[in-house]
Amino acid sequence: MKSALLLFYSILFSCSPATNKPEHGSLNSHATAESFFTFFNNFSKDSIFQIARIDSPLLVIKSDEVDESKEWMDVQYVSFKQKDWKETIKITIEELTPDTTRVLLQGEDTGIYLEHYFALRNLQWHLYKILNLST
């Protein structure tokens, strides 16, 4: 009797009409991605927040006109504060795609040129790559 009842329920539920579930990868209507600028403000000021949002290990690419090296590193902190730099730095934020943003850190007449790549994953921004083109 139990097996017949179990079979009845399994047939009943397998024949029920499909529900309108979101497609894989689509956002829940109640969940929204964090703003990059809100994220970057926190990322720039809070080292604990930053550590939680840096991929570990982090891909760091060092490149010049002659050589390029790729290294996976455990990066603990990336400074975007002027007071942490001896040189004057300029920060430029560029949205590459809706879920990828590049932050360029450039020293004026110093040869410092660092590109930081951020990706939006699970509604949160993460630093996933640094490209060091400094001379």
**What is d(CA 18, CA 56) in angstroms, rounded to the nearest whole number?**
40
pLDDT reported for residue 29: 52
Of 124, 86, 125, which is closest to residue 102 (Cα–Cα)? 125
Name the residue type at position 128.
Answer: Y
The reported pTM is 0.73
Q: Are 118 and 98 contacting, i.e. CB atoms less than 8 angstroms apart?
A: no
The 3-state DSSP composition of the chain as helix, strand, coil percent (nearest 5) reads 25, 40, 40
pLDDT reported for residue 96: 97
pLDDT reported for residue 84: 81
Assign 21 a pLDDT band (cuts: 50, 70, 90).
very low
Q: Is the pLDDT of residue 135 over 90?
A: no
Domains and CATH numbers, the chain: 34-132 (3.10.450.410)
